[in-house]
Amino acid sequence: MIPFLDLNLVNAPYLDAIEAASLRVIRSGWYILGEELAAFERAFANYCQVGHCVGVANGLDAITLIFKAMDFPPGSEVIVPANTYIASVLPLSFLHLTPVLVEPDPYTMLLDASLVEAHITTKTRAILTVDLYGRSCEMDAISALAETYDLKIVTDAAQAHGTKYQGKKVGSIAHATAFSFYPTKNLGALGDAGAVTTSDETLAKKIRYLRNYGSQQRYKNEYQGVNSRLDEIQAAILNVKLPYLDKENERRREIAGRYLDEIKLSQLILPPADRVQEDSWHLFVVRHPERQRLISYLESKSIQTNVHYPLPVHKQLAYKSMAQLILPVTEQIHEEVISLPLNPVMSDEEVAYIIETINQFDS
């Protein structure tokens, strides 16, 4: 069986260094908000070509703390792509903001910039872009809209570590960017972890307070904050793996390039090929009108796939208030998408077998 993702194999090259880093933290006696986190924050800010990085507990908290720090009035509207994971929307609900779902471009499956302006009202305060699958949204068009209407841009880059847009690293383009380091990500910890990147010093400082009960100095609380801190062991592990991120992404690009060039199955819609060297290819997501039949076929040939995601936000029970929304592009995408195996430890032989097997579907 070719697994969709084997984390043991992904982490194996770094295991000795990870164990040494973890032991160093354990023996240090300092486990929260210490030197390991400070070192990672400096390194990741530098990697993202941005002024500040603030480590937090997970990607969901990263989005939540950005919007909490921006302090929009309750009921303010935020433009959100309809094709996203629920974690992009939940923070808005937690903060009593109103998510406004906008259809994706059917080809890129990302927020369709041409549809955004029609959804902007006097209550709109921000646009939340989601760099799904490891590809940046069309930030030029979105930035122009934000400037015209005086809106903030926040990016959910949970799947876009190392992605670029026109030569600029994701993490430096939006007003603030949220990252997740969940173990399956291109840059993954061995547990939950996240971060915010921004060049806004005031915003970064406020998020640093908010992640720590609203406090910078112990027992003095300037804000009503939360407990959301990237711990020292996870920071140390990320410090081990960050220097190898570009190399691993390059391998992902090689595999994606082969898939794009060599998969020839009719009716299978491949992802865009125009930015192979800028996308980080967290996922290689294709579409087929008979998804389950193709999944079953690949499974019978010992190829494991995944579906990101089977049910859109507005069809979730948690958001039954949105059930009346008519979003045909989003709904079709969620009925057709299949994620093929793509990770940096796959062999050329495995890639060739997947391509050959797909091309023989229905032959």
Residues 71-87: what's their mean pLDDT?
A: 98
* Alpha helices, H only, the chain: 7-11, 15-28, 35-47, 59-70, 90-94, 113-116, 139-149, 201-210, 232-241, 245-262, 291-300, 328-336, 348-359
> pLDDT digits over 94-138, tens only?
999 999 999 999 999 999 999 999 999 999 999 999 999 999 999
Pairing label, strands 98-102, 124-130: unpaired
CB 41 within 8 A of CB 53: yes
Is residue 295 scored above 80 in pLDDT?
yes
Residues 176-181: what's their mean pLDDT?
A: 98
Structure tokens at 307: 């579906």
CB 52 within 8 A of CB 201: yes
DSSP letter string over 85-102?
A: -GGGTHHHHHTT-EEEEE
DSSP letter string over 151-215?
A: -EEEEE-TT-TT-EETTEETTSSSSEEEEE--TTSSS--SS--EEEEES-HHHHHHHHHHTBTTE
Q: In terms of Cα–Cα distance, which of 230, 207, 307, 317 is closest to 36?
A: 230
Residues 64-82: what's their mean pLDDT?
A: 98
Q: CA-CA distances (angstroms) from residue 49 to 136, 167, 207, 236?
A: 16, 11, 19, 21
pLDDT at 363: 61
Of 5 and 218, the structure prediction assigns the larger pLDDT to: 5
Q: In terms of Cα–Cα distance, which of 263, 310, 260, 298 is closest to 281?
A: 260
pLDDT at 279: 98
What's the mean per-residue pLDDT of the chain? 98
Pairing label, strands 164-165, 152-156: unpaired
> Per-residue b/e over 145-162, b at no fewer than 16 CB within 10 Å?
bbeeeebbbbbbbbbbbb
| Whole-angstrom distance, CA of residue 33 vs CA of residue 39 | 11
Whose tokens are 């050959």? That residue is: 356
User: Cα torsion at 120, 125, 131, 135 (round to 10°)?
Assistant: 60
> pLDDT digits over 26-50, tens only?
999 999 999 999 999 999 999 999 9
Is residue 193 scored above 70 in pLDDT?
yes
Q: CA-CA distances (angstroms) from residue 296 to 7, 129, 133?
A: 23, 33, 23
Which residues share a beta bridge with 269?
287
Residues 84-101: what's their mean pLDDT?
A: 98
| Whole-angstrom distance, CA of residue 238 vs CA of residue 232 | 10
| Whole-angstrom distance, CA of residue 245 vs CA of residue 179 | 14
pLDDT at 362: 86
Residue 88 is which amino acid? Answer: S
What sign has the CA pseudo-torsion 40, 41, 42, 46? positive
> pLDDT digits over 7-32, tens only?
999 999 999 999 999 999 999 999 99
Q: Is 306 helix (H, G, I), strand (E, B) or coil?
A: strand
> pLDDT digits over 142-154, tens only?
999 999 999 999 9
Structure tokens at 274: 């125009």
